[in-house]
């Protein structure tokens, strides 16, 4: 990561800048500034192993020079931050009311801001917006996968519960059938016991009457 030279200019007049390297690129930056059209634009110029990226808007130009290994996305993210900081600074509102602004008139007030921003991007650049969006999408995807896995797991538990319920229902049906069979068996046993009791009672009654009336009960009938 190497952003080398950054500046804010109005037209071709540099208002504030900071050079991170030892080499002087002032002539190259002036050449680039002279080629920028007056309308709002955003473009990259290549020179040797360096690239000049700029944003031109409302008469102000925000320019950064970087190694070609840095990439346009990071460079333009830096320029967007530089533009936000400049438009929010009190010095920018005072300079916008002036038609003719001396060169480097904002160097003392805004130069340190450019220096700090270059330092930030060269040492610990903010996360790339696209990469951050991709990370957020990956997190959402991971959450969705976890939710699907939980739903599938819950479905397996429901199926297992249904299987257990079917088994219990089958067992209850078998129990009812067994209970009816036991009731029938007990009814037959009770019926047999009642019939046997009736037979025994009749036999005992016959024995008792046979003692007085004879085996054929003839004596009792003749006496009457």
HSE-CB of 158 using CA atoms within 13 angstroms: 6
- The pLDDT tens digits for 163-214 are 666 667 777 777 778 778 878 888 888 888 888 888 888 888 877 777 777 6
- Measuring CA to CA, how many Å separate 171 from each of 17, 158, 183, 215? 87, 20, 18, 59
Task: Please state the pTM of the whole predicted model.
Answer: 0.56
- Measuring CA to CA, how many Å separate 98 from each of 58, 88, 94, 105, 218? 14, 17, 7, 12, 155
28-42, 132-146, 188-202, 205-219, range with greatest mean pLDDT: 28-42
- The pLDDT tens digits for 76-88 are 999 999 999 999 9
**Residue 64 φ/ψ, nearest 5 degrees:** -135, 140
């Amino acid at each position: 990561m190497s952003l080398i030279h950054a500046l804010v200019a109005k037209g071709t007049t540099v208002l504030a800048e900071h050079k991170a390297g030892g080499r002087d690129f002032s002539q190259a930056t002036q050449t680039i500034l002279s080629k920028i059209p007056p309308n709002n634009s955003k473009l990259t110029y290549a020179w040797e192993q360096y690239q000049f990226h700029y944003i031109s808007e409302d008469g102000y130009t925000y320019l950064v020079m970087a190694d070609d290994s840095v990439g346009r996305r990071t460079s333009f993210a830096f320029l967007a931050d530089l533009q936000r900081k400049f438009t929010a600074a009190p010095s920018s509102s005072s300079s916008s009311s002036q038609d003719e602004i001396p060169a480097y008139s904002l160097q003392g007030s805004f130069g340190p801001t450019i220096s700090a921003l270059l330092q930030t991007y060269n040492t610990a650049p903010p996360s790339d917006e696209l990469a951050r969006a991709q990370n957020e999408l990956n997190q959402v995807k991971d959450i969705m996968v976890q939710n699907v896995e939980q739903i599938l797991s819950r479905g397996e538990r429901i199926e297992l519960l249904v299987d257990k319920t079917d088994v219990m229902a089958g067992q209850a049906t078998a129990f009812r059938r067994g209970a009816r069979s036991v009731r029938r068996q007990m009814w037959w046993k009770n019926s047999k016991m009642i019939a046997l009791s009736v037979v025994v009672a009749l036999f005992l009654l016959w024995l008792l009457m046979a003692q007085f009336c004879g085996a054929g009960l003839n004596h009792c009938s003749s006496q009457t």
